[in-house]
């Protein structure tokens, strides 16, 4: 096997390097616990950098009043803290924006895991750091091991202190450098006893608990191991870069299945540790059964778990389906998953016997996929993910009433005809009623019906009658069978109903998406796509939807020609800008800029960002539901594709125009050098002859020369006018200002303009009096007439007539300009309208060969058509059509 | 008649153009004041009280349209715009700003002198305070007092609107009258958007007073701008 990296891998590495070059570099001073000297090490190194001439400033450094640290700070520029007013309390916070404005090479930002004051742009300081890095500013920062997300619960187990401020592992993984600030537990304790470690007064006891020697050793081990793993990863990366074949070759892909409960987080963290060892991609999957209603707290936990998974670097997926095992396996097979991780089942075994075991199904169907069962979900009350239906939902009171009535009615009937029946028949009738209730109503009414049925059966029919006592024990069995059958039937019914509901929800989503996709495929242009996509999303999600697209100066704007769904003020605009820049979701309901009214998603297509999608849900939690968010993302990606298509089409068109313009320019230059110089030559010659005349020229000759000069000047003027028209037609800047007017007007002007040159050609005009006023641009259509008449003058011998006529034809007016000249050569009919095309016979005729092209441009811009053909009886006829429509307010003109 | 030579103020920044106009105008009995900037042009127009102004639009220190508008704030001196801008919007803008006429470069001397004569005549007439009672061009005679129109020897019967349209053009004879202006004067200020009224009536009028309506001699179209009644 070839050891060298594949071209794709090399390309990938180049891209990563490029991205990294533009980004600032991140160095983390990593430690096992507070007090090991991270801040100190950071400041020491910063001083060294400053001595090298690097522009270093201090963003935020906590000295905790320690003299040695404060001394190191001496001489650094410190960015003033930002004041944030939170409910009347002025809070001080690190000012990332000030740093970005100041643009140093390197900034020191202490305590990466810090949680920002409410009202800041980001919830966490590490998000500010990401912004700084993205802005190209390098950052030195400090981090303790217990703040690392994936180690969070281990640290909690070791120390008993649960740390709330966490930092995603990806930050440490992607840091350019990690330096471990290491101190043995004994030394640290010594420093503590000397008072060199900062301990906040209010938490003194908890902190003391934290700083037990056992804890410190365990934390140190964690930190060392984390650093070692990083070194290991760097080694692997080095091997890859240098074409050294990796020992690890199998491309593992891990799928973690979680349920809607708070303890899924443990499963995710456990999985992350396993993934960390394997160095592979992983995904976290949740299967939602549509009929199943999840309680608000479980829903919140699920959202948190999925966010946690994302922070830990997993891709998250939410699927919808009744049979979780089947969905998981189908997904695993479709995505080449090699390992599936699930939590240990915690529910009682009888449930599996009754409803089937999801785990069992998963293991049996897994084929060559490994299934790992890990300790995760320990909560006993957790809902099994089997095809079970929400029992928490209350059935309407009506259902209870009806089921009770049905049973009572049944008892009454039975009582009436009891003498004709055996006891078994009565039991069967009761069973029938309970079964009917079970098939129609929810579980609650069914249970009520079965118990009531049993009670009535027992009381009225089972001997001794009219007591609840039972003489024969075998009746107990009858009661039991009645109850179980009722439950089974209602269970089956509910399951079928839930399946139908699943199908319906899926169907609805697919249909909504399909409807939008289909309509988007049919519309053209940015504005139309934006309007269509917004409308579909609004009707699907019930929230105002606003799509913003980057303008030429990269600012996000509401596309021209689309309505504004909700006001986009500066604040919303800045959130959208952030989203566009980072290509990451932000706004209401997220961690970033949650104070915004809208939630913003980047619209990313193959060529990059094409816009930002804003939604303004009335409840910010609406899109915290992963299913809703995922659906929104699906819609967004479809909209992005459509927008990209429009933008690419637009760009292609612009490029085509540019190419065509370039071609035109080239032809024009060669044409101009000839066609402009010829009249100029004549003018120069004629005028200089007159000027230098020493009395030898006769008066007639002088006049003749000057007349030539004048005529040639006029010819040049016409040429220039033609060129200008051509440029207008070509550049698409042709503005057609239509007015309803009789054809006589433009034709009349053209005839008068050409009067001199038409002297040798009798022109007959046939305009039927019933011809309506035609919507046309007077000046442009006059130009068409002039060009067609000039063309006839140029190509036909003197004395031959020119006939101009017009007829109504299929809602258009057709104008013919016919001559009796030599006619068109075969094949010329199409070409004569091309730019710079001149019929060979016309070498003597002047002009650049633009006249007919201009005619075509003008007629086309009017929505008409122009063509040429040979005329029966000799000569050529040029025909063009103009669409006719009644003028606005076309009643009668006022007298 | 020992008539005093009319004084023409020429506001034009291009020396070649000035040279040509100087030769043409002085050779035809006009006296010329020359100015090369908008600011100086305005000062000359106010200070020297010329009989007519030839105004270029593209001046180094401002737009000629603005100059025309400023002059119209206090005076009625006829203004003929000479410009290389051939677009209809520019012509309309200049006419709306108060210019009497518009000539697109390049133009011939004959055309320039004709326009200048029309402009000067209007000035004289409005100074006299009354219009000529009978207007004649070619075969066409319009008797404003008797309200009669004749083409050669035959009387032409016009509807009231056609007559009003014709007399409006007679009032501005020789000058371009914009569509808006015609609509406003003939149909009233509410009709200025309805140019197709004008088109329809102009066609009717032409069929009645022109020998060949497709090649009008008297009622000329200024494409995209308006109409002009020929005077000579």
Q: Do A773 and B224 touch (CB under 8 A)?
A: no
SS3 category, A57: strand
Chain A residues whose CB is inside 8 A of the B195 CB are: 739-741
pLDDT for the residue numbered A7:
65
The whole-angstrom separation of Cα B175 and Cα B220 is 10
Distance CA(A171)–CA(A178), nearest Å, equals 11
Percent of chain A with pLDDT over 70: 86
pLDDT at A141: 92
Q: What pLDDT, on a 0 to 100 scale, did the predictor assign at position A5?
A: 58
Q: Which pLDDT value is given to residue A360?
A: 84
Per-residue model confidence (pLDDT) at position A207:
64
Dist. CA A813–CA A221, nearest whole Å: 91
Alpha carbons A28 and A22: distance in angstroms, whole number? 19
Is B202 an interface residue toward A (CB < 8 Å)? Answer: yes
Q: For chain B, where are the alpha helices, taking DSSP H only?
A: 15-26, 38-48, 64-74, 88-96, 109-128, 160-171, 179-187, 195-209
ipTM for the complex shown: 0.80
A779 interaction partners in chain B (CB closer than 8 Å): 88, 223-224
Q: Which residues contact A76 (CB under 8 A, 6 or more apart)?
A: A46, A50, A56, A57, A58, A108
Strand A599-605 and strand A586-587: pairing? antiparallel
Question: In A, which residues are within 8 Å of B202 by CB distance?
Answer: 745
State mean pLDDT over A849-878.
Answer: 87
With contacts defined as CB-CB under 8 Å, which chain B residues touch A895? Answer: 159-161
Task: Between A308 and B50, name the one with better pLDDT.
Answer: B50
CB contact under 8 A, B196 and A748: no
Hey, are the CB atoms on A740 and B216 less than 8 Å from each other? no
Instruction: Find, among A162, A155, A165, A163, the residue nearest to A127 by Cα.
Output: A165
Task: Give chain B positions within 8 Å (CB) of A713.
Answer: 106
- CA A562/CA A583 separation, integer angstroms: 24
Cis amide bond preceding A441, omega within 30: no
Instruction: Check CB contact of B110 with chain A, cutoff 8 Å.
Output: no
pLDDT tens, A660-716? Answer: 777 767 766 766 677 777 788 888 888 888 888 888 888 888 888 898 898 888 888
Q: Under DSSP, is residue A597 helix (H, G, I), strand (E, B) or coil?
A: coil
Q: Cα(A146)–Cα(A638) distance, rounded to whole angstroms?
A: 41
In this complex, is the C-beta atom of A373 within 8 Å of any C-beta atom belonging to chain B? no
Chain A residues touching residue B200 (CB < 8 angstroms): 742, 773, 893
pLDDT tens column, A346-393: 777 777 777 677 888 888 888 888 888 877 544 433 343 433 444 445
ω into A464 cis (within 30 of 0): yes
Q: Are B107 and B78 in contact (CB under 8 A)?
A: no
Provide the pLDDT for residue B9.
94
Most A CBs within 10 Å, among B90, B195, B214, to test the A interface = B214
Nearest CA among A145, A150, A116 for reference residue A130: A116
Mode of pairing for the β-strands spanning B154-156 and B148-151: antiparallel
| Angle at which helices A397-416 and A443-456 cross, to 10° | 30
Task: For residue A721, list chain B residues with Cβ-Cβ distance below 8 A.
Answer: 86
- Torsion from C-alpha of A302, A306, A307, A313, nearest 10 degrees: 160
Mean pLDDT (whole number) for A67-72: 79
**Residues A299-309: what's their mean pLDDT?**
78
pLDDT attached to residue A291: 56
SS3 B227: strand
Contacts B191 to A, Cβ<8 Å: 894
**Alpha carbon of residue A732 to chain centroid:** 32
Confidence of residue B165 (pLDDT cuts 50, 70, 90): very high
Rg (CA), chain B: 18
* Predicted local distance difference test score (pLDDT) of residue A892: 47
Nearest CA of chain A to the CA of B187: how many Å? 8
Residue range A531-559: mean pLDDT, rounded: 85
What was the pLDDT predicted at A839? 62
CA distance A719 to chain B (A): 13
CB pairs under 8 A between A and B: 69
- Convert A192-214 to b/e letters by CB count within 10 Å (16 or more is b): beeebbbbeeeeeeebeebbeee
How many C-beta atoms surround the C-beta of residue A268 within 10 A?
27
B84 part of contact set with chain A, CB < 8 Å: no
Lowest mean per-residue pLDDT among A168-177, A774-783, B113-122? A168-177
Check if A891 contacts B (Cβ < 8 Å).
no
Chain B's closest residue to A754, CA to CA, is B215
pLDDT classification of B132: cutoffs 50, 70, 90: low
Please identify which residue in the block is written with the tokens 């470069």.
B105
Q: Do B199 and A765 touch (CB under 8 A)?
A: no
Lowest mean pLDDT among A139-148, A610-619, A837-846: A837-846
DSSP A74-96: TT-EEPPPEEEEETTEEEEE--H
Look at phi and psi of residue B215 and say left if phi exceeds 0, alpha if psi is from -120 to 50, else beta: beta
Q: Is A821 on the interface with B (CB under 8 A)?
A: no
Flag if B196 and A773 touch (Cβ within 8 Å): yes
A680 part of contact set with chain B, CB < 8 Å: no
* CB-CB under 8 Å, A887 with B86: no
DSSP for residue A115: B
Least CB–CB distance from A751: residue in B86, B194, B215: B215
Arithmetic mean of pLDDT over chain A: 80
In angstroms, the CA A471 to CA A465 distance is 10
Nearest CA in chain A to B218: A752
Mean pLDDT of A796-807: 91
Question: Does residue B126 register a pLDDT over 80?
Answer: no
Could you say which of B196, B201, B220 has the minimum Cβ distance to residue A739?
B196
Closest residue to B200, CB basis, from A713, A773, A782: A773
Residues 6+ apart with CB under 8 A from B150: B140, B141, B143, B156
Inter-chain touch B220–A752, beta carbons under 8 Å: yes
CA dihedral angle for residue A854, residue A858, residue A860, residue A866, rounded to 10 degrees: -60
CB neighbourhood size of B83 (10 A): 21
**pLDDT tens, position by position, A444-463:** 888 888 888 888 888 888 87
Contacts of A185-194 with C-beta under 8 Å, sequence gap 24+, read: A185/A213, A185/A216, A185/A217, A185/A220, A186/A213, A188/A33, A188/A35, A188/A36, A188/A216, A189/A213, A189/A216, A191/A35, A192/A35
Q: What is the SS3 assignment for A731?
A: coil
Distances (CA, A) of A868 to A515, A590, A871, B177: 45, 66, 9, 38
pLDDT by residue (tens digit) across B36-56?
A: 999 999 999 988 889 999 999
**A752 touches B: beta carbon within 8 Å:** yes
> Does B2 score more than 60 pLDDT?
no
Of A436 and B34, the structure prediction assigns the larger pLDDT to: B34
pLDDT of B32 reads 92
Tell me how close the Cα of A746 comes to any Cα of chain B, in angstroms: 7
Closest Cβ opposite residue A747 in set B160, B214, B224: B214
Q: Write out chain A residues lying below 8 Å of B108, CB-based.
A: 710
How does pLDDT run across A206-248, given as a tens digit for each residue? 566 677 777 888 888 888 877 777 776 776 666 656 655 444 4
User: Is the previous residue joined to B94 through a cis bond, with omega within 30 degrees of 0?
Assistant: no
pLDDT at A277: 66
Nearest CA distance, A749 vs chain B (angstrom): 6
**Is residue A160 scored above 80 in pLDDT?**
no
Per the DSSP assignment, residues forming a β-bridge with B52 are: B8
- At B194 the three-state DSSP class reads coil
CA distance B214 to chain A (A): 5
DSSP summary character for residue A875: S
Say how far apart CA A652 and CA A646 lie, in whole Å.
Answer: 10
Question: CB distance from A713 to chain B under 8 Å?
Answer: yes
pLDDT for A843 equals 46
User: Nearest-CA residue of chain B relative to A888?
Assistant: B194
Report the C-alpha gap between A271 and A313 in whole angstroms: 11
**Distance, CA of A445 to CA of A434 (rounded, Å):** 9
Q: How high is the pLDDT of residue B227?
A: 92
Note the pLDDT tens digit of each residue in A94-151: 888 888 888 888 999 988 888 888 777 788 888 888 888 888 889 999 998 888 887 7
Residue pair A180/A146 in contact (Cβ under 8 Å)? The answer is: no
Q: What does the alpha-carbon distance between residue A59 and residue A39 come to, in Å, rounded to a whole number?
A: 13
Closest CA to A357 of A324, A320, A401: A324
**Nearest-by-CA chain A residue for B85:** A721
pLDDT at A250 over 80: no
CA distance from start to end of chain B: 22
Residue A224 near residue A182 (C-beta atoms within 8 A):
yes
Q: Do A779 and B159 touch (CB under 8 A)?
A: no
Note the pLDDT of residue A4.
Answer: 58
3-state SS track over A321-370: CCCHHHHHHHHHHHCCCCEEEEECCCCCHHHHHHHCCHHHHHHHHCCCCE
A815: confidence class by pLDDT, cuts 50, 70, 90: very high
Please report residues of A whose CB lies closer than 8 A to that of B160. Answer: 895
User: Are residues A745 and B202, on separate chains, in Cβ contact within 8 Å?
Assistant: yes
For residue A882, what pLDDT is reported? 92
Token couple for A10: 């090399």
d(CA A731, CA A662): 11
The pLDDT assigned to A390 comes to 46
- The region of weakest confidence among A283-292, A301-310, A574-583, B5-14 is A283-292
In A, minimum Cα distance to B105 occurs at: A717
From chain A, pick out residues whose CB is under 8 angstroms from the CB of B215.
748, 751-752, 755
Encode A686-706: b = buried (16+ Cβ within 10 Å), e = exposed: bbebeeeeeeeeeeeeeeebe
Min Cα separation B202/chain A (Å): 9
Is the minimum CB–CB distance between B160 and chain A shorter than 8 Å? Answer: yes
pLDDT value at position A21?
A: 66
- Residue in the block written with tokens 């090699």: A338
Q: What is the pLDDT of residue A715?
A: 82
B159:A895 CB<8 A: yes
């Amino acid at each position: 096997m070839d050891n060298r990296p594949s071209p794709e891998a090399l390309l990938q590495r180049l891209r990563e390097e490029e991205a990294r070059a533009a980004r600032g570099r991140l160095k983390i001073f990593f430690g096992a616990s507070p007090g090991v000297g991270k801040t100190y090490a950071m400041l020491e190194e910063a001083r060294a950098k400053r001595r090298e001439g690097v522009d270093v400033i201090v963003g935020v450094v906590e000295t905790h009043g320690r003299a040695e640290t404060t001394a190191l700070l001496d001489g650094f520029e410190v960015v003033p803290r930002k004041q944030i007013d939170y409910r009347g309390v002025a809070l001080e916070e690190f000012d990332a924006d000030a740093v970005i404005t100041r643009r140093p090479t390197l900034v020191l930002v202490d305590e990466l895991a810090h949680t920002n004051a409410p009202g800041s742009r980001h919830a966490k300081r590490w998000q500010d750091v990401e912004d700084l890095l993205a802005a190209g500013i390098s950052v030195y920062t400090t981090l303790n091991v217990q703040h690392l997300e994936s180690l969070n619960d281990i640290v909690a187990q070791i120390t008993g202190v649960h740390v709330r401020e966490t930092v995603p592992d990806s930050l440490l993984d992607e840091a350019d450098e990690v330096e471990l600030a290491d101190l043995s537990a004994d030394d640290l304790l010594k420093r503590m006893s000397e008072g060199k470690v900062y301990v906040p007064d209010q938490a003194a006891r908890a902190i003391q608990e934290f700083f037990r020697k056992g804890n410190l050793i365990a934390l140190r081990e964690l930190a060392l191991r984390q650093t070692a793993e990083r070194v290991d990863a760097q080694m692997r990366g080095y091997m890859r870069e240098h074409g050294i074949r990796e020992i690890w070759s199998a491309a593992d892909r891990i799928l973690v299945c979680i349920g809607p409960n708070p303890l899924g987080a443990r499963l995710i963290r456990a999985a992350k540790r396993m993934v960390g060892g394997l160095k592979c991609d992983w995904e976290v999957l949740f299967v939602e059964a549509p009929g199943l209603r999840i309680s608000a707290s479980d829903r919140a936990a699920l959202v948190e778990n999925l966010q946690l998974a994302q922070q830990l670097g997993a891709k998250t997926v939410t699927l919808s389906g009744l049979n979780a095992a089947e969905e998981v396996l189908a997904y695993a097979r479709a995505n080449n998953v090699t390992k599936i991780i699930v939590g240990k089942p915690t529910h009682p075994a009888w449930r599996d016997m009754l409803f089937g075991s999801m785990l069992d199904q998963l293991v049996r169907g897994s084929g060559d996929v490994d299934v790992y069962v890990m300790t995760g979900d320990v909560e006993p009350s957790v809902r099994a993910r089997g095809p079970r239906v929400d029992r928490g939902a209350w059935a309407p009171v009506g259902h209870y009433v009806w089921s009770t009535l049905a049973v009572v009615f049944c008892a009454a009937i039975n009582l009436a005809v009891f003498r004709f029946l055996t006891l078994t028949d009565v039991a069967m009738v009761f069973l029938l009623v309970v079964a009917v209730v079970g098939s129609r109503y929810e579980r609650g009414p069914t249970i009520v019906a079965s118990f009531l049925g049993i009670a009535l059966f027992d009381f009225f029919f089972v001997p001794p009658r009219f007591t609840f006592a039972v003489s024969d024990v075998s009746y107990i069995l009858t009661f039991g069978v009645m109850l179980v059958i009722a439950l089974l039937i209602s269970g089956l019914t509910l399951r079928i109903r839930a399946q139908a509901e699943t199908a319906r929800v899926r169907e609805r989503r697919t249909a909504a998406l399909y409807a939008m996709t289909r309509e988007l495929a049919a519309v053209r242009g940015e504005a139309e796509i934006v309007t269509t996509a917004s409308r579909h999303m609004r009707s699907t999600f019930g929230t105002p939807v606003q799509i913003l697209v980057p303008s030429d100066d990269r600012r996000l704007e509401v596309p021209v020609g689309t309505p504004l769904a909700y006001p986009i003020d500066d604040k919303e605009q800045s959130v959208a800008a952030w989203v566009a820049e980072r290509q990451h979701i932000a706004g209401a309901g997220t961690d970033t800029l949650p104070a915004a009214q809208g939630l913003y998603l980047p619209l990313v297509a193959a060529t990059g960002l094409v816009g930002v999608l804003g939604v303004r849900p009335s409840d910010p939690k609406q899109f915290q539901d992963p299913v809703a968010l995922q659906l929104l993302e699906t819609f967004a990606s479809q909209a992005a594709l459509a927008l990209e298509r429009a933008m690419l089409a637009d760009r292609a068109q612009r490029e085509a125009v540019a190419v065509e313009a370039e071609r035109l320019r080239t032809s024009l230059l060669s044409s101009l050098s000839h066609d402009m110089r010829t009249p100029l030559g004549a003018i120069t010659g004629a005028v200089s002859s007159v000027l230098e005349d020493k009395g030898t020229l006769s008066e007639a000759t002088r006049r003749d020369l000057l007349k030539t000069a004048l005529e040639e000047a006029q010819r040049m003027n016409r040429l220039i006018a033609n060129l200008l028209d051509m440029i207008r037609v070509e550049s698409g800047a042709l503005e057609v200002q239509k007015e309803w007017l009789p054809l006589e007007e433009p034709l009349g002007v053209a005839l008068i303009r050409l009067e001199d040159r038409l002297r040798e050609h009798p022109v007959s005009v046939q305009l039927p009096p019933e011809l309506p006023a035609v919507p046309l641009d007077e000046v442009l259509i006059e130009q068409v007439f002039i060009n067609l008449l000039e063309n006839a003058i140029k190509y036909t011998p003197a004395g031959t007539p020119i006939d101009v006529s017009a007829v109504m034809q299929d809602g258009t007016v057709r104008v013919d300009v016919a001559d009796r000249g030599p006619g068109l050569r075969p094949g010329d009919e199409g070409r004569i309208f091309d730019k710079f095309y001149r019929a060979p016979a016309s070498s003597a005729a002047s002009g650049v060969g633009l006249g007919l092209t201009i005619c075509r441009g003008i007629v086309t811009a009017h929505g008409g058509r122009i063509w040429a053909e040979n005329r029966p009886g000799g000569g050529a006829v040029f025909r063009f059509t103009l669409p006719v429509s009644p003028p606005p307010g076309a009643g009668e003109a006022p007298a | 008649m020992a008539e005093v030579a009319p004084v023409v103020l020429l506001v034009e920044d291009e020396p070649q153009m000035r040279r040509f106009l100087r030769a043409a105008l002085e050779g035809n009995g006009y006296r010329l004041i020359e100015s090369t900037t908008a600011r100086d042009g305005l000062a000359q127009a106010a200070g020297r009280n010329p009989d007519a102004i030839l105004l270029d639009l593209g001046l180094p220190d401002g737009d000629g349209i603005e100059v025309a508008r400023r002059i119209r704030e206090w005076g009625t001196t006829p203004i003929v715009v000479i410009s290389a801008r051939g677009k209809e919007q520019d012509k309309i803008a200049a006419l709306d700003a108060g210019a009497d006429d518009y000539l697109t470069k390049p133009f011939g001397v004959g055309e320039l002198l004709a326009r200048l004569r029309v402009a000067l005549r209007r000035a004289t007439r409005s100074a006299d305070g009354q219009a000529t009672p009978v207007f004649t061009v070619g075969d066409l005679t319009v008797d404003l007092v008797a309200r009669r129109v004749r083409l050669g020897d035959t009387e032409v019967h016009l509807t009231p609107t056609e007559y009003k349209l014709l007399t409006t053009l007679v009032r501005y004879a020789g000058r371009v009258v914009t569509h808006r202006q015609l609509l406003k004067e003939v149909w009233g200020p509410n009709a200025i958007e309805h140019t197709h009224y004008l088109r329809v009536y102009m066609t009717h009028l032409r069929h009645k007073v022109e020998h060949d309506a497709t090649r009008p001699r008297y009622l000329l179209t200024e494409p995209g701008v308006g109409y002009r009644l020929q005077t000579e």
